[in-house]
Structure 1
Amino acid sequence: MSKTIQIASPGQFADLLKSSRIVVTDFYADWCGPCKQIAPIYEQLSAQLSRPNQITFVKVNTDTQKEIASQYAITSLPTFMLFEQGKQVDKIQGADPRKLQAVVKKLVAAAEGPSSGLGSSSSGSGSGSSWRVGDLPKGYGDVTDQVDVKGLELLNADSDFGTVRTLFEGSKPTGLQNGKAGEKTKDWVESDTDEQLMLFMPFQSTLKVHTLQITSLPPTSEDDEAPMRPKTLQFYTNRPHILGFEEADDIPATQAIELSEKDWDSTGTATVSLRFVKFQNVSSLVLFVVDGEGSGEKVRVDRIRIIGETGEKRELGKLEKIGDEQGE
């Protein structure tokens, strides 16, 4: 469900500017083509970064809210305005997704600094770096925000737990927040009939994928029915759709990796370094969790983060298969 608030009156907007530390505002119109083009990216930022009373994403229809549009001198669409503690701190005119993402994340990162008081209770930014340990590989950044969340697919997931979008939230998993894995919120994914999971991740831009970070926080008890951490992983690049389990057995993986106990750090995160030369021009990625590290029947995954570089933006809603026949 979208976390973006549709502004219905000047009073509502004024109240939000007072009650939320950061307010990101999208001034748009229904007839505006560029507004429609960038809307999915704005919604994705909202889904990743919104936090009650701290970071709020809103939309203002300039045709129905002319008083607000006039107050802030909106002369072109789309226009994005960023407010901190009620004061305008930035303005972006036009449908420039990279600039929008950069400005919003810079503001959120500044708000999550040591003096902000937001870090430990945050539901996360796109990087989610506040709870993970270690530095990103030199020269690369968190590109998880390039995942096209509307195209995500996950096979063999137990519906009693989180959805596929849960995997890409920046928020700190409840297993870390509370020191235990059995929370009522169940903000993780578990496999259903056996230990296998198949995840399809389409991207908004072609990516150079350097590293994948997988967080898994199974219970620490000796319960034989407790879910396991992933062990054997297979990656497939540039598939036009998700693979079936039998189909994956017949297709050579771009890379296969086997994790061991030493690969998991104190946050329950394994950093998977990919053969970078094979992941240079990636429009989609399929992750196949083949099995778990024990003798259980289910596998658990809490979060996934993608590290690399963004490339050429692809047309929204269109996934083109790009040849992955690249040299070692």
Structure 2
Amino acid sequence: MSQGPVSISSKEQFTGILKSSKIVVADFYADWCGPCKQIAPLYETLAKSLSRPGAVTFVKINSDNNSDIASEYSVSALPTFLVFRDGKVDETIRGANPAQLKKVVEKLVTEVGSLGEGSGSGGGDWKPAEIPKGYSDITDEVELRGCELLNAADDAGPVKVLFDSSKPSALNRDGNTSPKKDFVQSGADDQLLLFIPFQSVVKLHTLQITSLPPQGEEDAPARPGVIHLYINRPQNMDFSEADDTEPTQAIEINAGDWNSNGTANIPLRFVKFQKTTSVIIYVQKGDGEAETVRIDRLRLIGDAGAKREMGKLQKVGEDE
């Protein structure tokens, strides 16, 4: 609840936020605008008190630096506040009008209270870890039908559960878990190989991995310990190919990297992930001596770009 407004630096960043948050409040301003400066403290206060991950996001857009966004939404007076619901403009406030802005916010308070946890990828109120300022959850850019997971146990959940926005059942306080497994686990050993294509060309900034193996069980799986990432592959690799190929980034996750939600927040070498069409996550080994490894959720943080044809990422058939 303490997050302030996000400063927008590109149209792609703004588009990503519109996709990942149900409600977006945008403040169009300019550094030379006196009324903009007068109402800025009020807007900052509202942002800090009402921001909700995946539900309500406040942003500030410098109209001089982002003239393409201002032009797209016909912003001709400053300040202008636009309220977006599900990516579309729902309300407009022109000028520094504190009373009108507060009135709109009062409606937001009621709506925020009615927003529950979502069930689609990239949405929902469950927050596994902090999202770096200036970026957004772009998990909903994953093309689920093109994902492929190798070495998954037969009785684990389908690969799509990794991108579910709801809280993992393993975190339920009453100790009851869903009868349908909402996690994936390796089968033969402690390795997993996951191919993730995207609906658009994205910029990846952070990878969030949630792993919640049961405590105290004799044959409990391990959390991921060593992970290799590969980008822009048209299809999945096999394990021998992954072992023989230099990764885009190699990651070692230590015990202290996991937070109370069982989530490791992994910063990526952003310069290497600027134009990403697909990513392969190779869990090379678990963090202990267990024979298997488990992942409950994945979140991808960054910027989303324009949609593209997914046919270019269709997997090659066995007969080709």
- Indicate which of 200, 215, 236 corresponds to 1:242: 236
Instruction: State the distance in 2 between where 1:172 and 1:142 align.
Output: 15
When normalised by structure 1's length, the TM-score is 0.60
Contact 1:124 1:172 in 2 (8 A): no
Percent identity over the alignment is 48
Contact 2:126 2:165 in 1 (8 A): no
| Cα separation, partners in 2 of 1:210 and 1:264, compared to 1, 3 Å | same
1:167 is matched with 162
Write the letter of the residue equivalent to 2:287.
Answer: E
Counterparts of residues 1-328 of structure 1 (less than 5 Å): 102-103=87-88, 115-116=113-114, 118-119=115-116, 122-128=117-123, 130-178=125-173, 180=175, 183-221=178-216, 223-319=217-313
What runs of 5+ residues in structure 1 fail to find an aligned partner? 1-44, 50-98, 105-109, 321-328
| Cα separation, partners in 2 of 1:234 and 1:112, compared to 1, 3 Å | farther
Instruction: State the distance in 2 between where 1:210 and 1:192 align.
Output: 30
Write the letter of the residue equivalent to 1:194.
Answer: D
| Cα separation, partners in 2 of 1:114 and 1:231, compared to 1, 3 Å | same
Instruction: State the distance in 2 between where 1:193 and 1:220 align.
Output: 21
Contact 2:203 2:275 in 1 (8 A): yes
In the TM superposition, what is the alpha-carbon distance from 1:115 to its structure 2 partner? 2.0
Contact 2:162 2:298 in 1 (8 A): yes
The total of aligned residue pairs comes to 216
| Cα separation, partners in 2 of 1:183 and 1:256, compared to 1, 3 Å | same
| Cα separation, partners in 2 of 1:150 and 1:101, compared to 1, 3 Å | farther
**1:3-50, CA deviations, whole angstroms, 9 ceiling, x for partnerless residues?**
xxxxxxxxxxxxxxxxxxxxxxxxxxxxxxxxxxxxxxxxxx9xxx9x
Write the letter of the residue equivalent to 1:167.
Answer: L
Instruction: State the distance in 2 between where 1:111 and 1:164 align.
Output: 36
Write the letter of the residue equivalent to 1:228.
Answer: A
| Cα separation, partners in 2 of 1:198 and 1:138, compared to 1, 3 Å | same
Contact 1:128 1:172 in 2 (8 A): no
**1:100-144, CA deviations, whole angstroms, 9 ceiling, x for partnerless residues?**
96349xxxxx7996522x53xx34454356222543111111111
**1:223-267, CA deviations, whole angstroms, 9 ceiling, x for partnerless residues?**
331011101000001011101000111110000000011111111
CA-based RMSD:
2.7
Write the letter of the residue equivalent to 1:186.
Answer: K
Instruction: State the distance in 2 between where 1:197 and 1:179 align.
Output: 30
